[in-house]
Amino acid sequence: MKIILAKDAGYCFGVREAVKVAYRESENHGEVYMLGHIVHNETVVEDLEKVGAKVVETLEQVPKDRPVLFRAHGTTPEIWSKADEEKLNIVDATCPLVTEIHEEIKQLEKEGRQTIIIGDHGHDEVIGIAAQVDYPIIISNIEEAKELKKMKSAGVVTQSTQMIENVQDIIKVLMTKVFDLRFVNTICYPTRRNHEQIKALAEKCDLMIVIGSFTSANSKRLTQLALERNSKSYQVTCAKDLNIDWFKEVEVVGISAGASTPDSIITSVTEKIRKIGNINKEEVLYD
Ligand code: SF4
């Protein structure tokens, strides 16, 4: 049996940096506070809690003498101003690619367009993007796009982790609804790379393993992309979830992981698969 590991499996640079900052601040200040989970992965959140990075629901729960970390997915202007007013020590770990989306949607609004975000309702990143402008419309699927009324002018951005296929389908519908449509493709390049790799791998391999939490939209999307191309695709959160029966008569196993999956979990899952398949060789990286 052979293992092929997607080269960009796991943390994107935005999440990697935010986690690094959380560890650094906890070490420097004993504690750091985060509004909501820094990444959608229970293991990472638990490990961070052990070193003093605490999750809170509101700014009021943050002690004045401790830093508050703004996560990679972006934070609403309202929370920024509130934290400024309270003179909290803000540590900004917003991913620069998310900031770019904020700038793009503000520009579309300035152009007098109806702003539209293609993204998941209620997702932190989408909430942060929507809060940059006055009356955005959020569309997550083609059915919602079909319900839109006709309009003269609109500008569209996407959540950074959207699947290009979903975006293309929605844009096709919007083209029939909007006279003057401007689309800015803000799917970030780590997501694009990760999606391209899993699509190719799922076609090449007998079995696909996607590592990621079921609370991570990004990991679930990877699983969906793999399943559409290979019915022997499974999502696991850790090595314990692997089922030995999946590996019967399998020669090539492909592995990828969502942007919120830490390296340690990828390593432990890969190690267990090596044991199951009795593999001595290093896994091949798929670029
Ligand atoms: S998924 Fe993309 S935009 Fe989001 S944090 Fe990672 S690199 Fe940044």
For residue 137, what is the domain's CATH number?
Answer: 3.40.1010.20
Residues annotated as part of the active site: 125
Regarding the beta carbon of 15 and ligand 1, being less than 6 Å apart is answered yes
Q: Using a 6 Å cutoff on CB, does residue 98 contact ligand 1?
A: yes
Please indicate, yes or no, whether residues 180 and 229 belong to a single structural domain of this protein: no
Q: Are residues 60 and 101 in the same domain?
A: no
Reduced to 3 DSSP states, what percent helix, strand and coil does the chain have, rounded to the nearest 5? 45, 20, 35
Q: Are residues 199 and 276 in the same domain?
A: yes
Of 187, 218, 244, at which residue does a domain stop? 187
CA of 274 to the centre of ligand 1 (A): 30
- 138 & 194 share domain: no
Co-location of 138 and 149 in the same domain: yes
What pLDDT sits at residue 148?
97
Indicate the average pLDDT of the chain.
94
Calpha distance 204→270 (Å, rounded)? 18
Residues 55, 31, single domain; the answer is yes
pLDDT tens digit sequence for 51-80: 999 999 999 999 988 999 999 999 999 999
Scanning the chain, the segments in alpha helix (DSSP H) are 13-29, 42-51, 77-85, 96-110, 124-130, 142-146, 164-177, 189-204, 217-229, 263-277
Q: What pLDDT is attached to residue 217? A: 84
pLDDT reported for residue 279: 84
Show which of 147, 166, 187 is a domain's final residue: 187
Q: Are 137 and 194 found together in one domain?
A: no
52 with 138, same domain: the answer is no
Average pLDDT over residues 75-92: 95
Instruction: Give tens-digit pLDDT for 108-133.
Output: 999 999 999 999 999 999 999 999 99
Q: Is the pLDDT of residue 283 over 80?
A: no
- Which of 187, 222, 244 is the endpoint of a domain? 187
How much is the pTM? 0.91
pLDDT band at 258 (very low <50, low <70, confident <90, very high): very high
Tell me how far the alpha carbon of residue 95 lies from the centroid of ligand 1, in angstroms.
6
Q: pLDDT tens for residues 10-58? A: 999 999 999 999 999 999 999 999 988 888 788 888 899 999 999 999 9
Q: How many independent structural domains does the chain possess?
A: 3
- The domain of 253 spans 2-10+190-286
What is the predicted pLDDT for the residue at 190? 94
Q: Is 129 in the pocket of ligand 1 (CB under 6 A)?
A: no
CATH number at residue 91: 3.40.50.11270
Judgement on whether residues 85 and 140 belong to the same structural domain of the protein: no
Shared domain for 38 and 18, answered yes or no, is yes
User: Do 76 and 101 fall within a single domain?
Assistant: no
